[in-house]
Structure 1
Amino acid sequence: MKKVFEVALGILTAIGGFVDIGDLVFNAQVGARFGMSLALVTLLGVFGICVFAEMSGRVAACSGRATFDLVRERLGPRMGLANLVASVAVTLLTFIAEIGGVALAIMLVTSISEVLIVPFVGLLVWAVLWRAKFSVMENVLGLLGLGLVVFTVALWQLGPSWGDFVSQAATFDKPGKEDWPTYAYFAVGLFGAAMTPYEVFFFSSGGVEEKWTSKSLGIMRANVLIGFPLGGLLSLSIAGCTAVVLGPLQVDVGALSQVALPVAVAVGKIGFAFVIIGFVAATFGAACETGLSAGYSIAQFFGWQWGKFVKPRQAARFHLVLILATLLAIGVLMTGVDPIMVTEISVVFSAVALPLTYFPILVVANDRDYMGEHVNKAFANVLGTIFLVLIVVIAVAAIPLLVITHMGAGM
């Protein structure tokens, strides 16, 4: 019974923790502008993160060591350093976006400027990272993030033409008023939002924190292969809601309030309350995950003591990284920069960093010295290679598309 509870809790927290500010923004924008025509991209991204999250979780369970702990040892200091610089830069950018997302969500119910809210959010995030137990942080925020399931309820209440939705997803074609480069830009953004690099760093490091072993592989795989896809369906619900309500009005989503509007229309004040809870929990949880991921990556690369399983004074450099990352995020957001713009930039640059993130995982998962009998099988390698080629293509296209389309504004 205990194992059943662990699996159920893990799946629920995986669903609630899958959606972050990048998923909220990009799925809402895509739904409003392109309907469900990019739904297959979201599903492809979910499939990809499942492939590599399972690998990284298996590496952590079988070796007892996290991703960056092995990357430097297996690939050497130069490749490891390139990987570190790219991943930490993207993770910090995402961390800034997530803290800004929490402030925007709170602003919806307080009407206080997000600039004034940011320092308090940053302080609270740091306090949770410093004091809260890993399991409590992950489970509580993940379960509260399930408030976003109200998007699925709202979509059902809106009563769209499901046949039209399926037709749009199957044809994979842009609306006539949009150009192909802009369509491709949002496809890259959706894929990057689903496969954000910090997710695998946090997942593997979390496995070490929770002392996974080869006996934990069943629970780990259930979390990944059930929880993540259900989280992906939640992302599609967000796109579906904005497609029904905002699409006909030709609204270009640029604020978190617009993301929540379809739920308020469909379900009313109660639904809006659940949305706010979900927004705060999802973005706050993602802020904690990205902050920890930055600390994990740097500490693991340099061989420092790290993690929430040790006392702060024993992992002083790890916690110093968390403090500096939080101060950086607060400082950037206090300039008045738009968190939505930061989110869009972070998602696109996440796509750029994907090859450096996922190639080492594929290499380590094939190393029998670390993995023993749980080394990658042929099927996992085929899937990993296919996605790696796709990731490289997307990484090469991301920056040119961002420039050409003026961040999705159109040519």
Structure 2
Amino acid sequence: MKKLLEISLGVVTSVGGFLEVGSMATAAQAGALFGFQLIWAIVLGTICIIFLVEMAGRFAAVSHHTITDGIRERFGFNAFLWPLLAVLLINFMVLSAEIGGAAIAAELATGISYQWWALPVAFLAWLLLWRGTFGLIEKGVSMLGLVTLCFVVGAVMLQPDWKQVAFGAAPTLPHHDPANYWFMAVSILGASISPYLFMFYSSGAIEDQWDKSYLGANRVIAGLGMTFGGTISVAVLIVAAVVLGAHGVNQVNDYNQLPLMLIAIFGFWGFVLFTASLAIACFGAALEIALQQAYLVAQGFGWTWGENLSPRDDPGFSLVYTVTLFLAAIPIALGLDPLKLTIFSMALTAASLPLTVVPFLFLLNDDRYVGEHRNGVASNAAVIFIIALGFVLAVVTVPLQIFGGT
């Protein structure tokens, strides 16, 4: 029972991967522009990330290494340096977007421009990381993240054409604007299969001191946690397709358009629920990404690390998330549009997949790390498919950004 209670790690990872500003914005944009047509991209992304998260947890539980540790140790620091730099850069952009999302939520609640909230949001995140523990962040974000279930309730209350919703789970050619359709598909996949997500999960497993006895629970945690996030993301798309479409909004250019999704269903409380969902999801993701930046650098250079340690015991680790948070807040404080940054960074995230997923094929088949718990045929097939998908996304991202980016 204690192990199954660790599902909060799956939920908090899911909040960072599915319920943050990237997934909410891309799902809402996709629903407004293409109705239910892009549900398949969320479903595909969810299935892929379930496999990767399960592998990351299994690797950590058996080898007592994080994915970052494994890549550096198995391939050497020089080979590790390129994925490290790519992921750090993209994570920085995503972190900035998450701070912007939380700042937008503060603007919706107070009427004060989001630019003024960027540094306070970063400071609050830093304070929680500086003073808190991994368990506090893990359990707190997972519990507060349940507010996003309001999108599922809203989707059911809207009574959409469920037959059309089901059709949306199968890939189809776009009815119009193909460049934008495929760009949105790439952005959704980038928001779903984020490298920081499975890397964070492996670090969280080490923080929670997992061992081989957690292997069964890991499968449940990965499956339920990621499915939770994927379900919310599909619900956001459905609500956007029905509500924004009915109000003639076929292009989401401003976060101020998004509360309309729940206001149309719940009235004033819809505004409150949307603001709370956006704030919690983005703030939780900001905590997760800032931690992941610190995990990446500390593990990459062999420093002492751990959110459960005092900052004086892991000064380099604490310095990384401190500097990263405040630097990431600066572009938002200077007026950078969080929505445009979000869509762009999600597409780049998709393009970076090969750098971080290719090592899975080697690490999860290396007897020195996982022994008898190495990948089976299904898991290896999944990794090869994700690698192939990642290479396709890497090739098409820039042209789609030029011709289909909004």
**Does the alignment reach a TM-score above 0.5?**
yes
Give CA deviations for 1:107-145 in whole Å, capped at 9, x if unaligned. Answer: 111000011111110100111111111011111112211
Give CA deviations for 1:312-349 in whole Å, capped at 9, x if unaligned. Answer: 11211111111110121122212110111111121011
Query: 1:21, 1:116 → 2: CA distance?
Result: 19
Report whether the alignment pairs 1:47 with 2:42: no
Report whether the alignment pairs 1:370 with 2:364: no
Partner secondary structure for residue 312 of structure 2: helix
Residue of structure 1 equivalent to 2:233: 235
Q: What letter corresponds to residue 84 of structure 1 in structure 2?
A: L
**Cα gap change, 1:314 to 1:71, in 2 (>3 Å):** same
Query: 2:83, 2:10 → 1: CA distance?
Result: 30
Report whether the alignment pairs 1:195 with 2:193: yes
Give CA deviations for 1:150-194 in whole Å, capped at 9, x if unaligned. Answer: 11111122222212322344462323xx32221111110111110
Query: 1:296, 1:172 → 2: CA distance?
Result: 39
Residue of structure 2 equivalent to 1:320: 319
Query: 1:268, 1:333 → 2: CA distance?
Result: 30
Query: 1:15, 1:266 → 2: CA distance?
Result: 25
- Contact 2:6–2:221 (CA under 8 A) maintained in structure 1: no
Please report the RMSD computed on the Cα atoms of aligned residues, expressed in angstroms: 1.6
Residue of structure 2 equivalent to 1:115: 115
Q: What pairs up with 1:200-219 in 2 under 5 angstroms?
A: 200-219=198-217
- Contact 1:209–1:307 (CA under 8 A) maintained in structure 2: yes
Q: Number of matched residues?
A: 404
Residue of structure 1 equivalent to 2:158: 158
Q: How much has 1:253 moved relative to structure 2?
A: 1.0
Report whether the alignment pairs 1:183 with 2:181: yes
**Cα gap change, 1:11 to 1:55, in 2 (>3 Å):** closer
Q: How much has 1:68 moved relative to structure 2?
A: 1.3
- Contact 1:147–1:275 (CA under 8 A) maintained in structure 2: no
Residue of structure 2 equivalent to 1:332: 331
Residue of structure 1 equivalent to 2:20: 20
Q: What letter corresponds to residue 351 of structure 1 in structure 2?
A: A
Q: How much has 1:4 moved relative to structure 2?
A: 4.7
Query: 1:6, 1:257 → 2: CA distance?
Result: 36
Q: How much has 1:79 moved relative to structure 2?
A: 1.5
Residue of structure 2 equivalent to 1:262: 261
**Cα gap change, 1:309 to 1:15, in 2 (>3 Å):** closer
- Contact 2:352–2:390 (CA under 8 A) maintained in structure 1: no
- Contact 2:304–2:317 (CA under 8 A) maintained in structure 1: yes
Q: What letter corresponds to residue 362 of structure 1 in structure 2?
A: L
Identity %: 35
Q: How much has 1:290 moved relative to structure 2?
A: 0.5
Consecutive unaligned residues in structure 1, runs of 5 or more? none
Q: How much has 1:106 moved relative to structure 2?
A: 1.2
Residue of structure 2 equivalent to 1:94: 94
Give CA deviations for 1:79-114 in whole Å, capped at 9, x if unaligned. Answer: 100110111111111111111110001111100001
Q: How much has 1:39 moved relative to structure 2?
A: 0.8
Query: 1:205, 1:164 → 2: CA distance?
Result: 40
Consecutive unaligned residues in structure 2, runs of 5 or more? none
Query: 2:189, 2:110 → 1: CA distance?
Result: 33
Give CA deviations for 1:210-257 in whole Å, capped at 9, x if unaligned. Answer: 111011122222111122112111101101011011124143112333
Q: What letter corresponds to residue 396 of structure 1 in structure 2?
A: V
Query: 2:348, 2:13 → 1: CA distance?
Result: 24
Partner secondary structure for residue 172 of structure 1: coil
Query: 2:260, 2:305 → 1: CA distance?
Result: 41
Q: What letter corresponds to residue 256 of structure 1 in structure 2?
A: Y
TM superposition score normalised by structure 2: 0.96
- Contact 1:16–1:148 (CA under 8 A) maintained in structure 2: no
Partner secondary structure for residue 70 of structure 2: helix
Residue of structure 1 equivalent to 2:37: 37
Partner secondary structure for residue 312 of structure 1: coil
Query: 1:279, 1:124 → 2: CA distance?
Result: 16
Q: What letter corresponds to residue 339 of structure 1 in structure 2?
A: P
Q: How much has 1:274 moved relative to structure 2?
A: 2.3
Give CA deviations for 1:258-291 in whole Å, capped at 9, x if unaligned. Answer: 2221211112222332222221111111000000
Which has the higher mean CA deviation after the structures are superposed, 19-28 or 332-341?
A: 332-341
- Contact 2:347–2:397 (CA under 8 A) maintained in structure 1: yes
Which has the higher mean CA deviation after the structures are superposed, 15-24 or 107-116?
A: 15-24
Report whether the alignment pairs 1:281 with 2:287: no
Query: 2:292, 2:155 → 1: CA distance?
Result: 33
Q: What pairs up with 1:333-352 in 2 under 5 angstroms?
A: 333-352=332-351
Residue of structure 1 equivalent to 2:305: 306
Residue of structure 2 equivalent to 1:135: 135
TM superposition score normalised by structure 1: 0.94
**Cα gap change, 1:137 to 1:172, in 2 (>3 Å):** same
